[in-house]
Amino acid sequence: MARPEQVLLLEPQHELRFRGPFTDVVTTTLKLANPTDRSVCFKVKTTAPRRYCVRPNSGVIDAGTSINVSVMLQPFDYDPNEKSKHKFMVQSLLAPPDMTDTEGVWKDAKPEDLMDSKLRCVFEMPAENEKTHEMESNKISSSLSKSESSTLSMKSMPSSLDDGEVKKIMEECKRLQTEVQRLREENKQIRQEDDGLRMRKSTVMSAPHSSPAVRVKEEGLSARVIALIVLFFVVGVIVGKLAL
């Protein structure tokens, strides 16, 4: 006598797919739905019980409800040349209205009351180009994350100077620029005077009264040049602070 058609709806219907690598536990989900108006007892069996952990592997599905069964494949050494021969079977039967003992129902069940569905196991190992693509995607994502983090940190960085301090520094910078311009003009004038003195010194080398004047001019030139260097240094430090 032929067995009745399976009343439970299985998802997936024919295959349980496990995606590697298989160095750790790989889990797939089997959904069992009961569209009938009666409770249905079920059991999940496999041809390789040591290789799988099934939770729950049996139970009762109330009318109009469903249940998710986790099928966990244990780690193993995958051989692509070896085809999987593992299979699963979902066995079910309609629960009697006055059911109190599930195990007793299974023991008392007649063969013609049992319904079953079979599923085969399929192992999938990611291709090398998929691995490469995933690694490149991870690198790009990491680079973008670092770039966004750097941009956000730059935007969120508080300024070390308030508006009042910036205004004061700008005014001081303008004043120093004016001072530098004035010193440049004076330095130019001193150079012109120094050139004139050197010309007169070459023509009047024997005149003793001209030597002190030349020394005074040269000392004045050295002092102004030093002051000019110091001012350039101060301006550089202030401009550097503004740039930061």
**Cβ within 8 Å of residue 225, ≥6 positions away:** 187
Q: What is the arrangement of strands in the sheet containing 26-33, beginning at the earlier edge strand?
A: 9-11, 26-33, 66-73, 52-55
Residue 48 pLDDT > 70:
yes
Q: Are 91 and 42 in contact (CB under 8 A)?
A: yes
The rounded Cα 186 to chain-centroid distance in angstroms is: 61
21 φψ region: left (φ > 0), alpha (ψ -120 to 50), beta (else): beta
* d(C-alpha 220, C-alpha 122), whole Å: 96
CA dihedral sign of residues 178, 183, 188, 193: positive
pLDDT band at 158 (very low <50, low <70, confident <90, very high): very low
Whether residue 221 is predicted with pLDDT greater than 70 in this model: the reply is no
| pLDDT score for 190 | 80
Which residue did the predictor score with more confidence, 88 or 165?
88
User: Distance between CA atoms of 13 and 222, rounded to whole angstroms?
Assistant: 98
pLDDT mean over 138-157: 51
CB 121 within 8 A of CB 76: no
Eight-state DSSP code of residue 113: G
The pTM of this model reads: 0.52
| Amino acid symbol at 92 | S
- Give the pLDDT confidence score for residue 60 in this predicted structure: 96
The answer, yes or no, to whether residue 186 has pLDDT greater than 90, is: no
Asked if residue 10 lies in contact with residue 66, where contact means CB atoms within 8 angstroms, the answer is: no
Confidence of residue 141 (pLDDT cuts 50, 70, 90): low
Residues 6 or more apart whose CB falls under 8 angstroms from that of 237 comprise none
Q: What is the mean pLDDT of residues 107-114?
A: 91
Alpha helices in 157-209 (DSSP H): 163-203
Are residues 45 and 71 in contact, defined by beta-carbon separation less than 8 angstroms? no
Helix (H, G, I), strand (E, B) or coil at 66: strand
Query: What is the maximal distance between C-alpha atoms in the chain?
Result: 145
With 0-12 CB in 10 A as exposed, 13-18 as middle and 19+ as buried, what is 234?
middle
Q: Identify any residues that bridge with 71 across adjacent strands, giving them in sequence order.
A: 28, 54
